[in-house]
Structure 1
Amino acid sequence: MPRPKTKNDLMVVANKNYEKLNLFISKMTEEELNTPFDFSKDEKKKEAHWKRDKNLRDILIHLYGWHQLLINWVETNQNGKEKSFIPSPYNWRTYGEMNVEFWKKHQNTTLEDATEMFHKSHKDVLALAETFTNEELFSKGVYKWVGGSTLGSYFVSATSSHYEWATKKLRAHQKNCKK
């Protein structure tokens, strides 16, 4: 399905990709869950996240972290305090460092806790999306603090697109475990 451009599509695709991700996770074997991720032999996997995340917990924490970014950004701006999406001292060029900070902060978080945090934050993000109209989500210029994009594009990025990324990464890990 193409990238959502309506509120209805956002909700449908976010939930669909969430369910796909959860189904994939539910079918992971003990070996897959207990084997640390290692993509070092694949020269195509150059992005920092291929080295950063070592297990399912790390992926769920990453998703949770981006959910929290979105929720905090929207709520802060709605309350009249202008705030950029990527919190200081980071920006769009250095957000990889922010992702590493999410990772570091949660190295002692259990998989069980990370799973609960992820499920709750997914519900919280969709509940927040529900408070907006289709026009508020997918028309440019509605909120000055969104910049040149649409609010909905941030919701898509933090949900359905990120869930696809997570599923793809877990699939690559599963493939590595079978080698």
Structure 2
Amino acid sequence: MNVPQTKSELLLAIDKNFNKLMSYLNAIPPELTSDNSMDGHCKDTEMSVRDLVSYLLGWNTLVVKWITSDEKGLPVDFPETGFKWNQLGLLAQKFYSDYSELNYNALITELEAVKDEIVKLIDELTDDALYGKPWYTKWTMGRMISFNTSSPYANANGRLRKWAKNNNISLK
């Protein structure tokens, strides 16, 4: 899918990639979701399926924080307070830790809820607000949302397909 350039394209990309992600996540036997056998977000590390879901949940929660802070006229601390863009591996580790107490089903429920919140926030914005001007350096708000929702969902889908193939699991 091409990079979204409009509100409708952004919502379509989020919907398409998220629905595929959910079908994959729901096909994984629950007893395998905690196995650290998938390539991690840091070089030479491994993570579990639940870590992957925690990672997506963490980024989606940040997207909500960014949009709501901006709506309130507050400064947006990209990517997250206390982290720089060259520390995304550490941020991934923080997300794994942040959600470590949730069981797999609760993680999935939280991810669905925050994705729905993002869609609601996008619905309230215009194409111009999303794509009419830079929001963070040269990137528009729509592109920053895409970078942290539909694109990571697509990346996660690829990771899950590879992991499932290596573990003889059917995601269909």
Q: TM-score, normalised by structure 2?
A: 0.88
Q: Which of these residues, 99, 102, 105, is aligned with residue 95 of structure 2? A: 102
More strand by share: 2
Q: 2:33, 2:75 → 1: CA distance?
A: 43
Q: Which residue of 1 aligns with 2:167?
A: 177
Structure showing greater radius of gyration is 1
- Indicate how the Cα distance of structure 1 residues 34 and 75 shifts in structure 2: closer, same or farther if over 3 A, else same: closer
Secondary structure (helix, strand or coil) at the match of 2:86 reads coil
Q: Which residue of 1 aligns with 2:37?
A: 38
Q: Which residue of 2 aligns with 1:10?
A: 10
State how 1:1-179 maps to structure 2 within 5 Å.
1-29=1-29, 33-34=32-33, 36-39=35-38, 48=42, 51-54=45-48, 56-141=49-134, 143=135, 146-178=136-168
Percent identity (aligned):
22
Residues 13-61 of structure 1 deviation map (CA, whole Å, 9 limit, x = unaligned): 1101111111122333467x3571425xxxxx6851772522x221111
Secondary structure (helix, strand or coil) at the match of 2:148 reads helix
The AA in structure 1 aligned to 2:121 is: L
Q: TM-score, normalised by structure 1?
A: 0.84
Residues 103-159 of structure 1 deviation map (CA, whole Å, 9 limit, x = unaligned): 122222100110110000010011111111111111223x5xx33210001111222
Task: Tell me the C-alpha RMSD between the 2 structures.
Answer: 2.2
Aligned residues: 169
Q: Structure 2: where are the runs of 5+ without partners?
A: none
- Indicate how the Cα distance of structure 1 residues 99 and 35 shifts in structure 2: closer, same or farther if over 3 A, else same: closer
Preserved contact between residue 7 and residue 127 of structure 2 (Cα < 8 Å):
yes
The AA in structure 2 aligned to 1:36 is: D
